[in-house]
Amino acid sequence: MRLAIGGVSLDRVVESEMPTLDPFEIYPDARAADIESNLSWLAPRFYDPRSRLLILAFQGFVLRTRGKTVLVDTCVGDCKPRRRALFNDQRWGWLDRLDAAGFAPEDIDVVVCTHFHVDHVGWNTRLVDGRWVPTFPKARYLFAQAEWDYWWSEQGRPARERAGDYVLDSVLPVVEAGLVDFIEMDRAITDEVRCLPAAGHTPGLLCIDIRSGGERAILASDVLHTPLQCRFPHWSTRSCADPDHSRRTRLAFLEAWADSGVLVLPAHFPSPSAGTIERDRDAYRFRYAGEADAF
Ligand SMILES: [Zn+2]
């Protein structure tokens, strides 16, 4: 699916979209009654009642801006050894879908990872003759310095090792190949596209702010994981590095963009992922672009 934000084109390239996460695993604050009382809108689009799992998309976003091709987030990846079965040793074939969208690996000029979680860095590298090599050989990879620093810290290192150490196979090889620029969190990529600091879920988490021709869209990364966090904006996830900071960032994000008409694309919202945030009494709703119902 291709969107246009002024002169910027945006393609979503989905790696997977299916029931994946137990709501009570991802949200420690969730109670059974919270899910039951919202089932009428959660199922079947956002929640599969049979497996009792939330439906999440895993995807990368390709922007064309000022002659540059920018890939934001690189999903889970193929052949990666991971602790969680959903991510372990998969064969998603995502590069074929990138190709079908019109992009070869050599076409990518810039790769931005919004943060270093296992589902946002995977295709940074691919397995060739038993070695992890950069998938996008002509790209500059932009990584927030704060994010890099955190995952090597006393707090960050055990968290990544628990997931199966994706930094070693999906981040370090592109650093060693000399393809990485460590950036400040408000870095401009072009005059139409810039990073927006949104620390909390992780210390270097970036949103991507697209402004062109009087239009605006924000790639919201993991500030929100599902529309449940519009209804329950105080819910942080079990994978938030700092749940309180994550909560403050999410509340500020929702407050800033509610009723603004700005298009918001959270990384994991089911297709087509793009919509606007609306105030709803003391919480919020998400209205998919061009749809009548809000969730
Ligand atoms: Zn994620």
d(CA 117, CA 206): 12
Give the tokens for residue 136.
């996008």
Write the CA distances from 120 to 38, 114, 166, 234, integer angstroms: 29, 7, 10, 23
Chain centroid offset of residue 111 CA: 13
For the domain made up of 2-288, give the CATH fold.
Metallo-beta-lactamase; Chain A (3.60.15)
Residue pair 154/160 in contact (Cβ under 8 Å)? The answer is no
Give the tokens for residue 105.
């690996």
d(CA 31, CA 34): 5
Q: Helix, strand, coil % (nearest 5) of the chain?
A: 25, 30, 45
pLDDT of res. 247: 98
CA of 162 to the centre of ligand 1 (A): 16
pLDDT of res. 167: 95
Smallest CA-to-CA distance from 59 within 15, 100, 98 is with 15
Nearby residues for ligand 1 (ion, Cβ within 5 Å): 119, 222
pLDDT of res. 143: 98
Task: Over range 271-290, report the average pLDDT.
Answer: 96
d(CA 119, CA 271): 17
pLDDT score of 1 more than 80: no
Quote the percentage of the chain above a pLDDT of 70. Answer: 100
Q: How does pLDDT run across 130-145, given as a tens digit for each residue? A: 999 999 999 999 999 9
What is the pTM for the complete model shown? Answer: 0.97
CA of 18 to the centre of ligand 1 (A): 14
d(CA 122, CA 211): 28
Task: Over range 211-215, report the average pLDDT.
Answer: 97
pLDDT of res. 164: 80
CA of 119 to the centre of ligand 1 (A): 5
